[in-house]
Amino acid sequence: MTKLAEILLNGFALGSVYALIALGFVVIFKASGVINFAHASLLLLGGFTVAKLHDDLGFALALLAAVLVTAAVAGLVEVWFIRGLGRTEVHTLTILTIGVDILLTTELTRRIGSDVLSLGDPWKAGVRDWGGVHIADARIACIVVAVVLIGTFFAAFRFTAWGLSMRAAAEDREAAALMGIRLGRIQLTAWCVAGALAAVAAVFLAAFPSAGLDRSTGQIALAAFPAAILGGMDSAAGALVGSLVVGLTAALMAGYQSDMTWLGANLGDVAPYVVMLLVLIWRPTGLLGSKERARV
């Protein structure tokens, strides 16, 4: 029973990290119609900035700096590459983000080399014991921070002028533009928000029980793809549901792996994709994605 509780808590923590990443995908997709493959490298950039700065600035300031840097770089990607090509195909833009990802990842992995960088987070390797259930401090912090950030995001989305224009732009770009909403600015802020969330996610991906930030940390962002898709690419709430499903599936599969050896090693890495395929057979636009409607 305690094992199950531990697995569920860990799955929840993993799911909340995925949620931070998946929300970034969804926000960018809603604003630009692009699936952002450069997200992995933005995440790595966030983690790298914290790792380099925490000795001089302390963890909190370094994290703040990382959030700003990553948001700024995400914004630059939008201004330089996405905005100018606004009328070309989504196909082309998606591949373009792959090109950006290759450039950024190459630069970062060259600087990181084969090192495992510590982020100097305040939770270290602390573990809490709640009636026999062991959970790392970093995991608890992760859940708390994610809940706060995601709550803030949804509140902003629902109640602020920015959220309103964002929703209007996602609903109908043309009508929103005619109503005086600055689409360029909406798109820019969307990219910046996604970048900032990725930087925070990087900290928790590199925190205990992970050893630290290494060159492959960015690849974990890929696991948020199934999360975003199975929830529905154009639904922020769907991204949350999808992330929890993916996090719990991965944790359960990894936790009970010894009972399922016939399925092979490292099942936890593959299970989210299997779940995604099953959901997509059932609902082709994801759990909460809007159904396609067409007027003839």
Partner 1 sequence: MSDRVSTTVPAATPPARHASTAAPGLRGWAGPGAVTAVVLVLLVLPFYVTAFWLQTGLFAMAAAIGAIGLNLLSGTTGQLSLGHAFFLACGAYGYVWFAGDSGRVGVQRLSGLGLPPLLALVLAVLLTGIVGGLFSPISGRLRGMYLGVATLALVFIGHHVMLNAKSVTGGFNGRSVTPMEFGGFTLTDGDPDGLEVLGIPFGQLERLWYFALVLVLVAALTARNLLRGRPGRALGAVRDSEIAAAVMGVPVARYRSAAFVVSSMYAGLAGALLAMIFNRVVPDYFGLALSIDYLAMIVIGGLGSVTGAVVGAAFVTVLPQVLSKYADTLPLVVAPGSPDSGVGPGEAARYLYGAAIVLVLLFAPGGLVGLLRGRPGGVPTGRRTVRLGRTKGSIRTGSKG
- Which residues of this protein are in contact with partner 1, per CB under 8 A? 29, 32-33, 35, 37, 81, 84-96, 98-103, 106-107, 110, 172-174, 222, 225-226, 228-229, 233-234, 263-267, 269-270, 273-274, 276-277, 280-281, 284-286, 289-294, 296
* Residue 152 vs 266, nearer CB to partner 1: 266
CA-closest candidate to residue 119, choices 203, 205, 13: 203
Q: How far is the CB of 209 from partner 1 (least distance, A)?
A: 23
Min separation Cβ 197 and partner 1, Å: 19
Q: How far apart are CA 157 and CA 177, in angstroms?
A: 18
The residue among 94 and 210 lying less far from partner 1, judged by its C-beta, is: 94
Query: Where would I find the H helices in 33-130?
Result: 39-57, 59-77, 90-112
Q: How far is CA 277 from the centre of its chain?
A: 20
**For partner 1, the closer CB: 35 or 143:** 35
Q: Least distance (Å) from partner 1 to the CB of residue 233? A: 6
The three-class DSSP label of residue 134 is strand
Residue 93 vs 244, nearer CB to partner 1? 93
Q: Which of 59, 69, 5, 47 is nearest to 219 (CA)?
A: 47
139-145 long-range contacts (CB < 8 A, ≥24 apart) are: 139/9, 139/10, 139/13, 140/13, 141/204, 141/207, 142/13, 142/16, 142/17, 142/204, 142/207, 143/12, 143/13, 143/16, 145/200, 145/204
Kind and range of the H or E run holding 140: helix 137-159
Min separation Cβ 183 and partner 1, Å: 10
Round to whole Å and give the CA distance between 229 and 239: 8
- Minimum distance from CB of 135 to partner 1 (Å)? 28
Minimal distance in Å, beta carbon 173 to partner 1? 5
Closest C-alpha to 78, from 110, 48, 47, 39: 39
Residue 33 or 195 having the CB closest to partner 1: 33
Pick the closer one to partner 1 by CB: 11 or 33. 33
Q: How far is the CB of 204 from partner 1 (least distance, A)?
A: 22
* Residue 209 host element (H or E): none
Which residue's CB is nearer to partner 1, number 38 or number 193?
38
